[in-house]
């Protein structure tokens, strides 16, 4: 097999890259180790920045997003028993939209299949070869047959645990990592959302977040220990803790209860590798970076990566040289590190750290009060939350 661009991973990064390149007339083959059902059903982040919505809409895969997405013009910061709204739209002219990552994946898969572009699921034994040549290759098995895909360019969009980053020789990448001393216990409940906009709550017992997947599906998170045993969290305890952390000074909680459909624990970490390239292999999305979910940047960063990468590949394909490809890593990393900074800031601002230091607690409250009372503070949060420019970063 032979193609211009081989793409590993059928998540938002790989699928959007394939979609953008197909629209530019560039041949791609997209290979995924999991089944189509698996990638379409795995629940991930569900908040899209304005720039992400604009890209999906402009490239013809935003019809269902426009119909079913839930635009949000603000968020609420809740602390000391009071809520404070940050007017995202009023401060920046932009909004965010609730639309599940799995829905973005479904839309992009449907578009790729409708276009007749190659999309191979359940590829076994994936291995990267020839990285030190100008013809990288992917070896894999499908339907019991050994296959080799020769590429001009290889895009590693296969996530944190994928094969592409690990195929780069040892010592070629610089790794930056921070592991946080807490995690999120997340639930999906058949209940109305606590509010029409997200609520971020800072409480002495720990952080809590109230969001949604739809007008009838609530998504809630509680700060917990990384080693938390879900068996120790029956439904009654989860609801009681959410009410306690979300309650106002009058003791009333906006959280509405319902049957819990899913639950899980998400570790909190920051991770970046530099550069996001080795030879003709280019990394994008979670293969190159992870952010804590506090800033809602994970999928949006992946989208931003492939917008930059697709334009660089298109320029190279049209005979405009290697300048944009050579600059891909540094261009993407400018935005990535700003998103890391914002995610770290939100995490540090809202979570209870080990020991419950009263000094740190007071500093967090002072910072929150400043953000909510200062036009400059609110604008800084709003500008980062709705998303920095996709390329300028």
| Tens of each residue's pLDDT in the chain, 393 residues | 999 999 999 999 999 999 999 999 999 999 999 999 999 988 777 899 999 999 999 999 999 999 999 999 999 999 999 999 999 999 999 999 999 999 999 999 999 999 999 999 999 999 999 999 989 999 999 988 999 999 999 999 999 999 999 999 999 999 999 999 999 999 999 999 999 999 999 999 999 999 999 999 999 999 999 999 999 999 999 999 999 999 999 999 999 999 999 999 999 999 999 999 999 999 999 999 999 999 999 999 999 999 999 999 999 999 999 999 999 999 999 999 999 999 999 999 999 987 778 898 899 999 999 999 999 999 999 999 999 987 643
Three-class secondary structure of residue 18 per DSSP? helix
Verify whether residue 38 is a known catalytic residue: no
> For tokens 């819990």, what's the residue?
260
- How crowded is the C-beta side of 339, counted as CA atoms within 13 Å? 34
For CATH 3.30.9.10, list the domain ranges present in the chain. 179-267
Are 215 and 70 in contact by the 8 Å Cβ rule? The answer is yes
- pLDDT value for 333: 97
Looking at 99, 180, 200, 221, which residue is catalytic? Answer: 200
Active site residue 297: yes
Catalytic site residue from 72, 203, 220, 351: 72
Rounded Cα distance between 19 and 196, Å, is 32
DSSP letters, 21-78, are: HHHTT--EEEE-SS-HHHHHH-----EE-HHHHHHHHHTT--HHHHHH-EEES-EEEE
Q: Which of 94, 278, 297, 351 is catalytic?
A: 297
Check if the beta carbon of residue 107 is closer than 8 Å to that of residue 56.
Answer: yes
Identify whether the C-beta of residue 179 lies closer than 8 Å to the C-beta of residue 269: yes
Write down the pLDDT at residue 391: 64
In whole angstroms, give the CA distance from residue 353 to residue 340.
Answer: 19
Residue among 390, 393, 392 nearest 304 (CA): 390
- DSSP symbol at 80: T
Contacts of 166 (CB under 8 A, 6+ apart): none
The correct answer on CATH 3.50.50.60 for the domain covering 2-46+100-173+275-352 is yes
Q: Which CATH superfamily hosts domain 179-267?
A: D-Amino Acid Oxidase, subunit A, domain 2 (3.30.9.10)
What gap in Å lies between CA 162 and CA 147, rounded to an integer? Answer: 19
What pLDDT is attached to residue 393? 39
Whether a cis peptide bond, with omega within 30° of 0, leads into 275 is: yes
The rounded Cα 163 to chain-centroid distance in angstroms is: 19
Which residues of the chain are in CATH 3.50.50.60 domains?
2-46+100-173+275-352
In this predicted structure, what is the pLDDT of residue 43? 75
The separation between the first and the last C-alpha atoms of the chain, rounded to the nearest angstrom, is 37
Looking at residue 171, the DSSP 8-state letter turns out to be T
- Per the annotation, the verdict on 84 as an active-site residue is no
200 flagged as catalytic: yes
Out of 180, 278, 293, 328, pick the active-site residue. 293
Distances (CA, A) of 349 to 82, 251, 298, 360, 368: 16, 23, 19, 10, 7
Q: Which two tokens stand for residue 162?
A: 């994928």
């Amino acid at each position: 097999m032979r193609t211009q661009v081989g793409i590993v991973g059928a998540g938002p990064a790989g699928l959007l890259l394939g979609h953008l390149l197909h629209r530019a007339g560039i041949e791609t083959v997209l290979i995924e180790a999991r089944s189509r059902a698996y990638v379409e059903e795995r629940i991930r982040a569900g908040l899209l920045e304005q720039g992400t919505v604009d890209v999906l809409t402009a490239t013809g895969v935003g019809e269902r997003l426009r119909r079913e997405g839930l635009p949000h013009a603000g968020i609420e910061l809740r602390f000391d028993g009071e809520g404070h709204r940050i007017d995202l739209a009023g401060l920046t002219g932009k909004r965010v939209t609730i639309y599940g990552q799995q829905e973005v994946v479904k839309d992009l898969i449907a578009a790729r299949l409708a276009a007749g572009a190659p999309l191979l699921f359940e590829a076994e034994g994936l291995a990267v070869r020839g990285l030190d040549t100008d013809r990288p290759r992917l070896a894999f098995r499908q339907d019991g047959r050994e296959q080799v895909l020769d590429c001009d360019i290889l895009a590693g969009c296969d996530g944190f645990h994928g094969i592409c980053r690990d195929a780069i020789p040892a010592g070629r990448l610089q790794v930056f990592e921070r592991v946080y001393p807490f995690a999120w216990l997340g639930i999906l409940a058949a209940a109305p959302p606590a509010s029409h906009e997200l609520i971020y709550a800072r409480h002495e017992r720990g952080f809590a977040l109230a969001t949604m997947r739809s007008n009838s599906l609530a998504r809630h998170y509680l700060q917990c220990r990384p080693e938390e045993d879900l068996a120790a969290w029956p439904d009654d305890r989860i609801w009681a803790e959410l009410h306690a952390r979300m309650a106002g000074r009058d003791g009333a909680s906006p959280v509405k209860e319902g049957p819990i459909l899913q639950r899980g624990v998400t570790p909190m970490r920051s991770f970046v590798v530099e550069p996001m390239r080795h030879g003709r292999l280019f990394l994008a999305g979670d293969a190159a970076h992870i952010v804590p979910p506090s800033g809602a940047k994970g999928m949006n960063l992946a989208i931003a990566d492939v917008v930059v990468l697709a334009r660089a590949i298109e320029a190279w394909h049209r005979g405009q040289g290697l300048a944009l490809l050579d600059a891909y890593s540094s261009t993407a990393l400018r935005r990535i590190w700003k998103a890391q900074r914002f995610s770290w800031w939100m995490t540090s601002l809202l979570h209870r750290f080990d020991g419950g230091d009263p000094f740190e607690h007071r500093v967090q409250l002072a910072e929150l009060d400043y953000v909510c009372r200062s036009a400059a503070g609110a604008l800084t949060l709003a500008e980062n939350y709705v998303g920095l420019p996709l390329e300028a970063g």
